[in-house]
Amino acid sequence: MRVTSTSYADTLIAQLQAQSNRQTSLQQQVASGQRIQTAEQDPLAMQQVLSLRDTSAATAQYAENIQTHEEYATVTGDVLKSLTKVLNRVQEIAVRADGTASPDTLKAYGTEVGQLIQQALDLANTQHRGEYILGGTKSGAAPFTSTTDANKNITSVTYSGGTNSAESEIAPGVLVSSRIIGENPSGSGDRGLFADSRFGADLFGHMIALKNQLDSGDLASIAQTTRGALQADEDNVLYHVGDNGALQSRLEASLTHAKDTQLSVDGEISRRADTDLPSTIVKLNQSQTSYQATLQSAGSILNLTLLDFLH
């Protein structure tokens, strides 16, 4: 059987092309660190990698959302701590304002309560990253505004913020909010911090009433009404303190879980997509050696003459 020179040349070219393509593929794997360059190389693995990458991206977004919530929950917690101190002092003054207090002492108490009202108003309009954290979904403007008399005493405080808080996902289908709305007179929905008709809370209204009673010496109203009203305000603030603490603990645990999930998913991506670098380099060297050997062998054979075949 005769083997034509063109048949051998065609076979040689095909072999060299195959070896060259293999070298190129191995070189790309070494350079990129990725075993799979195109879907054709391993369709199933590529599909799995793409799905895992989507999961990884979603988990990274959840972790980012959690960290944002942690940040705002911490700021809100600081506001609650400061507000608790204000309220404690107001209650202390309400208790001390009894029949043993002189008119001058009551006046001094009234002045101090006026300052505490202003301090509470400043806390109510706390900003973080340019947002008013107690404004609910209306975080672009100060949620609380005050009206003052000729002596610059605050006579009323009005809430113009939202009655709902913005939420975001921290896990698939799990929505949370790290904000507290300043007030909720609607009778449903999120619980207001400074005022909520469901729980008898109206901190600004009760503090303003206390100041007026101190200024006028109306000790009976303080004892019969205002002390109990301030207790309702305290109960409401303490509810938010506890809820904020529980939220911070939950967010901490959720962030740990999200980070663990991220590591696990990224490990699976690496296992399916990353190349085994030492093994790939060995294969590349073997392929290059084989390619060179094929070229040398082909050169020797193609240089044979017809006489060489006759021998």
Report pLDDT for 292: 61
- Among 46-55, 123-132, 151-160, 210-219, the range scoring the smallest mean pLDDT is 46-55
Report pLDDT for 288: 56
Q: What is the DSSP track for 17-65?
A: HHHHHHHHHHHHHHHH-BS-SSTTT-HHHHHHHHHHHHHHHHHHHHHHH
Asked if 115 contacts 154 with a C-beta cutoff of 8 angstroms, the reply is no
Asked if 280 contacts 22 with a C-beta cutoff of 8 angstroms, the reply is no
What is the average per-residue pLDDT within 107-117? 97
9/293 Cα distance (integer angstroms): 16
Query: What residues have CB less than 8 Å from 20, skipping those under 6 apart?
Result: 291
Tens of pLDDT, residue by residue over 260-278, are 998 988 888 777 765 544 5
Report pLDDT for 306: 46
Query: Which residue pairs, CB below 8 angstroms and at least 24 apart, start in 285-290?
Result: 287/19, 287/22, 287/23, 287/26, 288/23, 290/19
Tens of pLDDT, residue by residue over 287-309, are 556 556 565 665 565 555 444 54
Whether the predicted pLDDT of 142 surpasses 60: yes
Whether the predicted pLDDT of 116 surpasses 50: yes
Note the pTM of the prediction, 2 decimals: 0.75
Helix 277-302 / helix 5-32 crossing angle, nearest 10 deg: 160
Beta-ladder partners of 168: 176
Domain 56-266 indexed as CATH 1.20.1330.10:
yes
Tens of pLDDT, residue by residue over 44-91, are 667 777 888 899 999 999 999 999 999 999 999 999 999 999 999 999
- Among 8-12, 122-126, 157-161, 279-283, the range scoring the smallest mean pLDDT is 279-283
Whether the predicted pLDDT of 124 surpasses 80: yes
Query: What residues have CB less than 8 Å from 273, skipping those under 6 apart?
Result: 34, 35, 36, 45, 49
Residue type, 256: T
Tens of pLDDT, residue by residue over 238-261, are 999 999 999 999 999 999 999 999
Angle at 109 between CA 144 and CA 134, to 5 degrees: 20
Tens of pLDDT, residue by residue over 181-235, are 999 988 888 999 999 999 999 999 999 999 999 999 999 999 999 999 999 999 9
